[in-house]
Each structure stands twice: as structure tokens, then as C-alpha cells.
């Protein structure tokens, strides 16, 4: 399996290590206090690979932060982005300061909630989100009206989405509530806003979208806005799931 080359800004690499905040890191870079692979760097915006480049600050090697693997229960109303608009809230507001260097494994839009895996391990994020190795993700969706049998079959057969020009399929579609049009669906693909766009094509409106699991990691027991480390069992299961996936065509 290929690995990623996580090139990031030098000030972010310094901040992620816990040495100081990004603004202070920029000051250190401008003063010539930072070297990368033996060369003094003074240009702000320089990109580095923190996993392979040797970085020093004031003559001392930059220490890599410990790897963290977390599960966040993202509530509705938060964007999965570090930068939020003026009227938006970033999911980073829910993450304790000591873990702010993490990145999300995929996204949940502002109107969606549920399981979001985050980590500061770029290689781990790459592996569990790479298009060639999609892990199944399960969602509970509430619609404006019940699905008819023909549309359930269409969701399983696939709906062609543009501009990807690829079939977006749901590997499982099952009703979960007899009193309202709520369904549990499973995806192994991951196009942008796939569920909402697919159902719009079939003339349904999604009233609620909640991710209940990401691969073997389940959300149950974690309250909205709460976060916890992944267990060793979950991490092992994620690794085993990737190895067990069929070779991509």
C-alpha cells in the first residue's frame, strides 16, 4: 500500500509539535531561528514533510507530537473545516487544545452529525480515506417521504453523479422506523455529499443525516459534541479491515 507525503507549512509543523503557536513560529522563522535539513529557513509559507525532514528550532531538534487517534461525535451546526465562515462554527471548537493538531478522516457537512475520526497521523488518515480502500460507513437518514421499492433498488444499483461521472451506490438500504421514513444505509464510496445528492436525483429531500459507524468504529455511547480516543481493539480492527478489503479493480 502506498503512503502519503504530508507536506504542510513549516509554522504548522512547529505548532503541531507543541513548541509554540503558529504566530510565534512565524516570528521564529523570520528571525532565522529555524532550520530544515541543515538550512536556515526565513521564508514564511515554506512547506515541509514533518515525517522525513529534520527541523530544528533555536538549535534543538523539533520533537514529533505523540500520535493520537480520536472519535468525535460531531453535532449538527459545525463544519468539518479548520476555517469557518462568520456565521459558522468549526468542529475544532469541540476538540481540546492539546489535540488541535488533528485532521479529520473525511467530512460531515454542517447539517449532518455523527462519527468523525480525527488524528494527527497523516499516514493513518490517508489509508482509511484513500479512494482505493474505502471502508464501509453506515448512516441513519430521515427523508421527507418513504422510499418506494424501485428507488431502493436504484440506490443499490447506483445513481450516476456529476461531475464525477461515476455510479454512487448504497450497499445496504433498510428501514429502521415504521412511524417515519428513516433508513439505515451503508456506503463504500465517498463522493462529496453523496447521500444528499443521490436522493435529490431521485426527488427526495434528506431531513436528517447521522453517521453511526466508520468501518468497525461505532458511535454508540458517545454524546453529541463528545470525543474519545480510539481503543486498541478499534485500531487493530481498522488495520485488519484495510488488509481484508479486496484488491481494487
Q: Where are the beta strands (DSSP E) in the chain?
A: 8-9, 34-36, 39-40, 47-48, 55-57, 60-61, 69-74, 78-79, 89-90, 103-104, 113-119, 137-143, 159-161, 166-168, 172-177, 182-187, 206-214, 217-218, 227-229
Buried b / exposed e over 178-212, threshold 16 CB at 10 Å, is: eeeebbbbebebeeebbbbbbbebeebebeebbbe
For residues 214 and 125, give the distance between their C-alpha atoms in angstroms, rounded to a whole number: 12
Residues with Cβ < 8 Å from 187, sequence gap 6 or more?
A: 134, 136, 137, 139, 169, 170, 171, 194, 195
Cell of 40: 536556515
Which positions are annotated as active-site residues? 109
Cell of 119: 488524528
Whole-number Cα distances in Å, 197 to 76, 191, 192, 200: 18, 9, 8, 5
Q: Do strands 78-79 and 89-90 pair parallel, antiparallel, or not at all (unpaired)?
A: parallel
Q: Do strands 172-177 and 159-161 pair parallel, antiparallel, or not at all (unpaired)?
A: unpaired
Amino acid at each position: 500500500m502506498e503512503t502519503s507525503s504530508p507536506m504542510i507549512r513549516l509554522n504548522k509543523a512547529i505548532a503541531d509539535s507543541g513548541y509554540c503557536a503558529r504566530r510565534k513560529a512565524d516570528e521564529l522563522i523570520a528571525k532565522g531561528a529555524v532550520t530544515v535539513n541543515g538550512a536556515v529557513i526565513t521564508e514564511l509559507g515554506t512547506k515541509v514533510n514533518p515525517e522525513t525532514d529534520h527541523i530544528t528550532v533555536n538549535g534543538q531538534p523539533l520533537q514529533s507530537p505523540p500520535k493520537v487517534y480520536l472519535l468525535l461525535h460531531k453535532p449538527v451546526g459545525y463544519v468539518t473545516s479548520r476555517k469557518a465562515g462568520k456565521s459558522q462554527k468549526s468542529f475544532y471548537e469541540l476538540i481540546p487544545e492539546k489535540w488541535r493538531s488533528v485532521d479529520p478522516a473525511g467530512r460531515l457537512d454542517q447539517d449532518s452529525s455523527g462519527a468523525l475520526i480525527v488524528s494527527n497521523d497523516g499516514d493513518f488518515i490517508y489509508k482509511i480515506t484513500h479512494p482505493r480502500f474505502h471502508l464501509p460507513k453506515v448512516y441513519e437518514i430521515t427523508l421527507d417521504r418513504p422510499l418506494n421499492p424501485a428507488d431502493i433498488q436504484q440506490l443499490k444499483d447506483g445513481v450516476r453523479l456529476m461531475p464525477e461521472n461515476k455510479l454512487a451506490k448504497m450497499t445496504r438500504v433498510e428501514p429502521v422506523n415504521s412511524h417515519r421514513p428513516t433508513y439505515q444505509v451503508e456506503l463504500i464510496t465517498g463522493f462529496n455529499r453523496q447521500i444528499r445528492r443521490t436522493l435529490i436525483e431521485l426527488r427526495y429531500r434528506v431531513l436528517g443525516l447521522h453517521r453511526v459507524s466508520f468501518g468497525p468504529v461505532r458511535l454508540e455511547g458517545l454524546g453529541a459534541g463528545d470525543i474519545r480516543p480510539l481503543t486498541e481493539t478499534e485500531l487493530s480492527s481498522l488495520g485488519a479491515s484495510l488488509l481484508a478489503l479486496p484488491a481494487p479493480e
